[in-house]
Structure 1
Amino acid sequence: MSHRDAPSPSGRRRHNRPIIDESVNFPVNQATTQSSLFSRLSCIGRLIAVLIWAFWAGCLQALFIRLPGPAKIRLPRVFWYTIGRILGLQFRVIGTPAGGIRTARDVQNGERPIVYVANHCSWLDIIAVGGVLHTVFVAKGEVGTWPLIGTISRLGRTIFVSRNRQNTGKELHDMADRLWDGDDIVLFPEGTSSDGSRVLPFLSSFFAVAKPGRLEQAGMPKPPPVLIQPVSIVYDRLEGLPVGRSRRSVFSWYGDMDLTPHIWSFGQWRSMRATVLLHPPLNPEDFKSRKELANATFKAVRDGAAQLRQGLVPDGQN
């Protein structure tokens, strides 16, 4: 066992097991059984609390999105932060968000909306980013059809996109409209989630709203000037101990993994931590091409994530 990894408890699958309190003087089988039962009951309680909170927050947001003012922007951050805390997820923020809450008039007067660009390894990334930033997510279209999650996404004013190139113009139009309205947006330009041990190369097409090409400019209104802020997300604590390679599967959701079993296993751990590292913003105008901008953003996110995994980044803003 590496000293940099959470210890391996007894009685459950290797990478999705809650810690057993070895200080309790039970025989091994009894301790394992009671710990496993407690973990499952705790998970059920957390999931019920999530559903109750989602219902009441959803009712409020359904009202707020019909009213003027920033409440519809502020509530999603409170919502995701609270979801994280219910699940036992702590947040550590290093760096300063370049964005904030602004109006359409602010954008017209020259304020630049922010496009946050982050790595992606899990459904937890939505909670980690949403809990610390005032932002609108860009998600694949099928998310909008998922029970409960789709409803939450729509109430959070998510922009849904598809892989159909025929819809690209409309989707860029929607993003440009949100930016002109004063919203910040977040992109996960890997195009899929990873196993958490590396950052996959960024697809330059995701940066079209920040640096549109001739084809996009011909088919959509010109978006306002924006800044790109790279964001590195790493889950670096589990039960208070550093997370090594063998424990990243507790957090990572990728490939053909089923969502429900992953949530069930994750919910049986007591405490976790997500570190969100906010890098200095990049000005798209400083780059000759969209690909160059994508590569510079990728390097910042990749290097930051690697440093976080190695424990080389000191605490900053919390």
Structure 2
Amino acid sequence: MQSVARAPIDALRPRRLRRRNPLRFANRLPGGRLFDVFEDRPLGGRVRAVRRLVTVLLWTLLCMPVQALLLALPGDARARFPMLFHRVLCWLLGVKLQVIGTPCADRPVLFVANHSSWLDIPVLGAVLPAAFVAKAEVGTWPLIRTVARLGRTVFVSRNRGTTGKEAEAMRGRMAGGGSLVLFPEGTSNDGTRVLPFRSAFFAVADGARQVQPVSVVYDRLGGLPACRRDRPLFAWYGDMEMGSHVWRLARRSGARVTVVLHEPFPPGLLPNRKVLAAEAERIVALGAERLRQNRPVAPMAPRPGARLPVSG
């Protein structure tokens, strides 16, 4: 019998494959070209969105008569029950809450936060025992206006003739021990920055014992860090339609928002409302910037000797 010399590498190869069609692995990522991973994320399921929106509507209709009854009764339940309502609302929408810091308990408190979406309302409502200050247009929206009034929202308009009455209404609410949530930017934005705080909104700060800045950033989507392309999913601004915006958000999963409650301080710590607005803006913007960059953030305190920034 004649022996045949074989290369050493041939001894490691099987003589016969068990599969007629061997497995072949492509040298590229699935889904098309290599850089397809940088395209828009998939929308998600319509069934998930329908389920979420239906349960949100049912939960809202269930809680409305409960809150109406609590408003007629004495006690602090009228301010605590909306927190439960908003917390469940966030859970039904698939938004996970992460809170850094503690809400100030020395009421009344004026909470000032950045504003990028209608979603800020249930998020902050789940964290803060306070009523919101909203523009007068919200009081004309179907169903939402009823929910807002049951939450004791203070409506303000842009009419100069009613500014004094609205300021007195806010001072009266705080004089009764109620805290308020204010968005000093005056409008929502795309979520990539914090707009300048308007000092006129701080005219009622003297009616509060404490002012607490709050940074709000939607920093996770699908369990991964949210980037600039993901901001429009959360942010609601310009001429966006609310219905389609809610629908797109309800289809996604793995969303998270981080709320940073900075150190509270008495409004008299700073010399005037312009310095107060500038310092609150600096704290809120710095906290939001660190969250957008996925950097660790801790509650920040104001600078006692703060002054207005010098314009160049």
TM-score for both structures, normalised by structure 2: 0.81
Q: Distance in 2 between matches of 1:313 and 1:179?
A: 34
Residue identity opposite 2:210 in structure 1: L
Residue identity opposite 1:139 in structure 2: A
The aligned counterpart of 1:182 is 177
Residue identity opposite 1:46 in structure 2: R
Q: Does 1:82 find its partner at 2:88? A: yes
- Say which of 88, 104, 114 aligns to 1:98: 104
- Say which of 188, 194, 199 aligns to 1:204: 199
Q: Does 1:45 find its partner at 2:28? A: no
Identity of aligned residues (%): 49
TM-score for both structures, normalised by structure 1: 0.80
Q: Distance in 2 between matches of 1:134 and 1:18?
A: 34
Q: Does 1:236 find its partner at 2:231? A: no
The answer (yes or no) to whether the contact 1:18–1:270 under 8 Å persists in 2 is: no
List per-residue Cα deviations over 1:96-120 (Å, max 9, x = no partner): 1113xxxxxxxxxxx5411000000
Q: Does 1:288 find its partner at 2:271? A: yes
SS in 1 for 2:204: coil
The aligned counterpart of 1:150 is 145
Q: Distance in 1 between matches of 2:282 and 2:87?
A: 28
Q: Distance in 1 between matches of 2:170 and 2:149?
A: 15
Q: Does 1:58 find its partner at 2:58? A: no
**Residue 157 of structure 1, CA deviation:** 0.6
Q: Does 1:271 find its partner at 2:254? A: yes
Instruction: Note the residue ranges of structure 2 that are not aligned, 5 or more in a row.
Output: 1-36, 300-312
The aligned counterpart of 1:135 is 130
- Say which of 73, 83, 89 aligns to 2:79: 73
Residue identity opposite 2:230 in structure 1: R
The answer (yes or no) to whether the contact 1:137–1:159 under 8 Å persists in 2 is: yes
Point out 4+ residue stretches in structure 1 off by more than 3 angstroms. none
SS in 1 for 2:155: strand
SS in 2 for 1:210: helix
Q: Distance in 2 between matches of 1:274 and 1:235?
A: 4
Instruction: Note the residue ranges of structure 1 that are not aligned, 5 or more in a row.
Output: 1-6, 20-38, 100-110, 212-222
Q: Does 1:121 find its partner at 2:146? A: no
Larger Rg: 2
SS in 1 for 2:248: helix
SS in 1 for 2:57: helix
